[in-house]
Amino acid sequence: MPSSAAPPDSAPHPKQQVASYWRELVEGEFDPPYAASRMRIGVIHERISLGPEWYLAGLARQVGGFIQAIDPALPNAPELILALVRAVLFDVSFVIDAYMEARVSRLFRSEGYAQQLVEGLASAVAVIDSRDRLISANRTLLSMIHGDPALLYLMSVEKAIPIPGLGKLLQRAREGDAPRMVGAGHLGGRNFRIAVMRLNYQAEASGIAALVMDDITDLQRIGADMDRQSDRYDQLGDIVGSVLWDMDLATWTITSINQGSLDLTGTQSVRYLGRAEAWTDQIVDADRERFKQKAMALQPGEKTVIDYRMQRMDGQEVWVRSNLCRSRDRQDHRIFGANTDISASKRYASRAWPASPVASPTSSTTPSWPCWATSSCTP
């Protein structure tokens, strides 16, 4: 195959090696030097971006030329063809293997891209030798510990990164069954998540470990703020006597709920979390579809109120009033509900108050009032 098939910006020396490779194909012997040559040429092909398809095309053309050059009238023609087939198979087995090795090497090489990646990470990254000394660090770590790179090299990691228990974490990662250990630490008023991994890429470099530190101080603060907000959410619900929840309209699944559900529904709040239809299943059949239709009709940011009956776990039927509000985010299919027990007011409203005075059977003009509606009524 002509070397002009390679990209024009490739170095001329590898192209000359490729050209000589095809000449060696005729002269080569099945010996270690020849095998080494085949391996080398696979790496060179890959380096100048001549993929396996180029190699196989060139090999096919060479083999075709060899076969045409064999005189079929020769008594040893079959032996020559057999020898050629053996040479081709030998050649292919070594060259393709070399291609694969070269590609693996290029995939995992650390120069260039990997170095830029490590340098650009927000995480602090360091490499520790078997004697717990710092042998590599990215800029994030240096800025974190305010260290001079010239002084930090080969410094004890516990001195360079004075986090209590770091040495023990490294020891556990080296000696334990798990190649990766995770811990936590505190340094300079900040909290860190620490991951330590064994690096066994070379037999002679046993004991080498990688250290990755992530600052989680702000995440912990946000988590604590969310916990406090959740506590206030529960307290507010308890004060007003409401069950407060968020519900996903796609599955009718409650994603958060306060602790007031026990008094209203007779069920602990944990029963509703993450279970599709857990709330709507307790709505009586006659009211369930009406509740769903009204909730589904809400537009982003819109509010509504609906009264309906629920079946408590003890079998008692209660009236519930839900003040519903749809999330303002059009991509968020949640509604927020404040749910209160209105059973007492419903019972009061349903009392049989007379619509008009009742005529006395003895008089057509004098109305007869119920005893409890007159001042003369006696117990």
Is residue 147 located within the same domain as residue 100? no
pTM higher than 0.85, yes or no? no
Is residue 252 located within the same domain as residue 336? yes
For residue 245, give every residue at least 6 positions away whose Cβ sits within 8 Å of its Cβ, in sequence order, or none. 254, 255, 256, 257, 258, 272, 279, 336, 337, 339
Chain segment 123-155, per-residue pLDDT in tens: 888 888 888 888 888 888 888 888 777 788 888
Q: Is the pLDDT of residue 367 over 50?
A: no
Chain segment 309-344, per-residue pLDDT in tens: 999 988 899 999 999 999 999 888 899 999 999 998
Yes or no: say if 278 and 251 are a contact pair by the CB < 8 Å rule: no
Is residue 238 located within the same domain as residue 211? no
Q: Let me know if residue 360 belongs to a domain.
A: no
Is residue 122 located within the same domain as residue 146? yes
Is residue 8 located within the same domain as residue 99? yes
Chain segment 49-99, per-residue pLDDT in tens: 666 777 677 777 777 777 777 778 888 888 878 777 777 777 777 677 776
Is residue 61 located within the same domain as residue 154? no
Is residue 151 located within the same domain as residue 194? yes
Yes or no: say if 158 and 123 are a contact pair by the CB < 8 Å rule: no
Q: Which of 83, 108, 133 is the last residue of a domain?
A: 108
Q: Is the pLDDT of residue 19 over 90?
A: no
* Tokens 């020396």 found at: 13
Is residue 142 located within the same domain as residue 162? yes
* Total of domains in the chain: 3
Residue 379, pLDDT score: 37
Residue 5, pLDDT score: 44
Q: Which CATH number is 276's domain given?
A: 3.30.450.20
Q: Let me know if residue 286 belongs to a domain.
A: yes
The angle that helices 77-108 and 52-69 make with each other, rounded to 10 degrees, is 170
Is residue 237 located within the same domain as residue 345? yes
Q: Let me know if residue 225 belongs to a domain.
A: no
Range of the domain at 130: 113-215
Tokens of 8: 């024009």
Higher pLDDT, 10 or 102: 102
Is residue 140 located within the same domain as residue 186? yes
